Amino acid sequence: MDDRQGSLEWAEQKAKEIATLLLFWYEKNKRLLPWRTTADPYAIWLSEIMLQQTQVDAVIPYYRRFLEQFPTIRDLARAPLEAVLKAWENMGYYSRARHLHAAARLVVDSHGGQLPQDPDDLKALPGIGPYTAGAILSIAFGKPVPAVDGNVKRVLSRLFAVDRPLNDGSTQRYISLLAEKLVPAENAGLFNSALMELGALLCRPGMPTCSACPLTSICLAYAGNSQHQLPVAGKRAKRPHKEAAAVILRDSGNRLLIVQRPADGFLGGLWKFPGGMVNPGETVSEGLKNRCREELNLSVSVREPLLTLQQGYTHFQLTLHVFSGTILEGNPGLPATGNWLWASVGDIRRFPFSRAELRILEALFP
């Protein structure tokens, strides 16, 4: 059925039945996850942000440690950004941590330390888009609004046999309308969680486990045996490849030179080794020397290659070449800007680094 108006009406008619079946299944089959035993909006918000790009199993220890370190929104707002980034270290997608921290400060300054329940106020906070707002409003505040994440999109595309690419804007709007029709006036948070759980446990990408699904009597993809072809994949842009280079520079005391990235740029606020992207037309070695000059006003000689690693980011794939080197001209010392310093090998891990730098540290200074 791709008569969209007809499907929306049908969704409305079936909503109660779907909610009953799904909630019954959820109650019996849900995973016991730490954020499911709290009613604290801050903890629920934190879990939603962490889960956006990270698997459940990986999130659990971060979630627990983060709440131990920053138990309330006010604690988070008071903390320096660097401590927050350190607590997030190696989980990736660090803009989540920066936004969470900035949002906590706004919540304290403008909302008396309580997450706002008004959808527009909530969505005005950094890092809170329609999905996260829907999840917080429904799960923490019981509001009857949908929360459409990737799992929900996949489930609904099968349930209603949506045969258009999911990444198409009009398909996304249509799926959101379907979700609005389905969400019940009561237990909206449980319903949204159940729909996501169904996507995570049974209605998985590739091979859904329909034999255990509570919705087979309703699912149009199951009825038409098209569940393996749905959702329709859209065209994916190939991630461009970039090259970067970094240099390990030591002072006479064998300490390592590290640099803090600008707060508002790529991986902002995290520390790194000197270097940066290699521009078109530069050799890797030229690029490294040029970035050291631009970034630190240092002239360096590049010596032997130490390692090369591949690292994937959201919008590109990176090859990072790491060299040893020496300073030819310039005297770093402790700079006035405070964004670079010498760190001993024993001390260096107290600074927050991105995954690529952590891999360098593990390889060269295990």
The binding site for ligand SF4 (CB under 6 A) comprises: 155, 158-159, 202-203, 208, 210, 213, 215-216, 219, 221-222, 227
- Tokens 């909206």 map to which residue? 188
Min separation Cβ 122 and ligand SF4, Å:
29
Cβ at position 227, least distance to ligand SF4 in Å:
4
Distance CA 140, CA 248 (A): 47
Q: What is the smallest separation between the CB atom of 191 and ligand SF4, expressed in angstroms?
A: 15
Residues 6+ positions from 233 with CB-CB distance below 8 Å: 165, 166
**Strand, coil or helix: 45:** helix
Determine phi and psi for 292, rounding to 5 degrees: -65, -35
Decide whether 133 or 203 has the Cβ nearer to ligand SF4. 203
Residue (of 318, 270, 256, 304) closest to 88 by Cα position: 270
Strand 271-272 relative to strand 317-329, pairing: unpaired
Per-residue tokens: 75: 């604690």
Cα separation, 351 vs 273, whole angstroms: 12
Which position among 17, 27, 48, 89 bears the catalytic label?
A: 48
Long-range CB contacts (< 8 A, 24+ apart) of 326-333? 326/249, 326/300, 326/301, 327/249, 327/298, 327/299, 327/300, 328/299, 328/300, 328/301, 329/298, 329/299, 330/296, 330/297, 330/298, 330/299, 332/251, 332/257, 332/296, 332/298
Nearer to ligand SF4, 139 or 230 (CB): 230
**152/213 with CB nearer ligand SF4:** 213
End-to-end CA distance of the chain, in Å?
Answer: 58
Element (H, E) at 358: helix 355-364
Contact 139, 193 (CB under 8 A): yes
Q: How far is the CB of 229 from ligand SF4 (least distance, A)?
A: 11
Q: Is 357 a catalytic residue?
A: no
State the minimum distance, in angstroms, from the CB of residue 308 to ligand SF4.
42
Q: CA dihedral defined by 78, 79, 81, 82, rounded to 10 degrees? A: 160
Toward ligand SF4, which CB reaches closer, 123 or 204? 204
**Residue 163 in contact with residue 232, Cβ under 8 Å?**
yes
Q: Is the CB of 191 or the CB of 222 nearer to ligand SF4?
A: 222
- Given the complex with ligand SF4, which of 26 and 70 has the nearer CB atom? 26
Which of 231/287 has CB closer to ligand SF4? Answer: 231
Write down the least CB distance from residue 213 to ligand SF4, Å.
3
Shortest Å distance, C-beta 202 to ligand SF4:
5
Question: 101 by DSSP, 3-state: which?
Answer: helix
CA distance 332 to 165: 53
Which residues carry out catalysis? 48
